[in-house]
Structure 1
Amino acid sequence: MNSQTSKVYLFIHVICCVKNKEPLLTKPVRTVLFAHIKKNAADNGINVLLVNGTEDHMHVVVQMMPTQNLAQIMKSIRTESAAWINESKFIKNLFEWEEGFAALSVSPSSVKQVLDYIEKQEEHHKTKSLDSELEVFQKIQI
């Protein structure tokens, strides 16, 4: 198979927290921020399938291309989005993302299920905390 006929299906589910998990992302901020992230990523060759979250974190599903690097993708998304929030003055205080992030590969057959889960973040976090959500990742053993 040559590179012109290659088909690559690398889907990554990433969770990023607001610095110190502060609840700074109000609904109006999330609405404009997540739309901005998706558009800006597309403008930079990053295929973000979905961005959603709550006051203290966001979920991003990215379809990576073979030449892309997850650390660079997330640095680009987080750096640009924090600068955009701060320049736009959507939040009174300085906005920052946590340094690290959680990332999981997603099987092509499970992408729809993951997107459905991310679509329902507000509903999901009415009964489950971010910490309990992140604990699930700690328990994954290979």
Structure 2
Amino acid sequence: MANTYTQLYIQFVFAVQNRISLIRPEWEEMLYRYMTGIIQNKSHKMIAINGMPDHIHMFIGFEPVDHMSELIKVVKGESSKWIRKKGFVKGRFNWQSGYGAFSYSRSHIDRVYHYIHNQEEHHKKKTFREEYIELLEKFDVEYDERYIFQPVEY
């Protein structure tokens, strides 16, 4: 076959290091635009991006020009540098290591889009940890409870 044809829709979920609520409403839209630029510059299509002060959801049309882990490494690394350079947080900003990646069919695009854009409403009912475990279980992903995002203890 002379060409490669794909249809891959992936939702990525990742958290701020130590699950600290550092993403502020004053600059979150700029962060989402910056991350969208990274995704698009890597030949992927951002379908939806949104989150809460402690985590992000990205839903993309994934082109198999990258490894998923390499793409997320770039997105997290470059956005961390950008946040630090802009001085949006005191101290050093980092994303927690690891991420979730969940694939969907074309028929689910609208549902996932709305789910991501309604994060604030959704998190009135469920914590991020509950949401993340629900995704893992829904997709039948084996996980080790020790490595699930733990709530920050003060």
TM-score over 0.5 for the alignment? yes
Q: Aligned residue for 1:115? A: 113
Q: Between Structure 1 and Structure 2, how many residues are aligned?
A: 140
| Aligned: 1:2 with 2:2 | yes
How far residue 123 of structure 1 moved from its aligned partner, in angstroms, is 1.4
TM-aligned CA deviation for residue 122 of structure 1: 1.2
AA partner of residue 61 (structure 1): F
RMSD across aligned positions (CA): 1.5
User: Letter of the aligned partner of 1:26 in structure 2?
Assistant: R
DSSP 3-state at the match of 2:18: helix
Identity within the alignment, % = 27
Gaps of 5+ in 1: none
Q: Structure 2, unaligned stretches of length 5 or more?
A: 142-154
Instruction: State the SS of the aligned residue for 2:132.
Output: helix
Aligned to 2:89: 91
Report which stretch shifted further, 47-56 or 9-18. Answer: 47-56
**SS of equivalent to 2:80:** helix
TM-score, scaled relative to structure 2: 0.84
Q: CA deviation at 1:49?
A: 1.7
Partner of 1:29: 27
Q: Is the 8 A contact 2:19 2:54 kept in 1?
A: yes
Pick from 65, 70, 73 the counterpart of residue 71 of structure 2. 73
Shift of residue 30, structure 1, vs aligned partner = 1.2
Residues 1:137 and 2:103 are matched in the alignment = no
Distance 2:43 2:85 in 1: 23
Aligned-partner Cα distance in 2 for 1:68–1:112: 25
Name the aligned partner's letter for residue 63 of structure 2.
Answer: M
SS in 1 for 2:11: strand
With over 3 angstroms needed to count, the CA separation of the structure-2 counterparts of 1:39 and 1:67, relative to structure 1, is closer
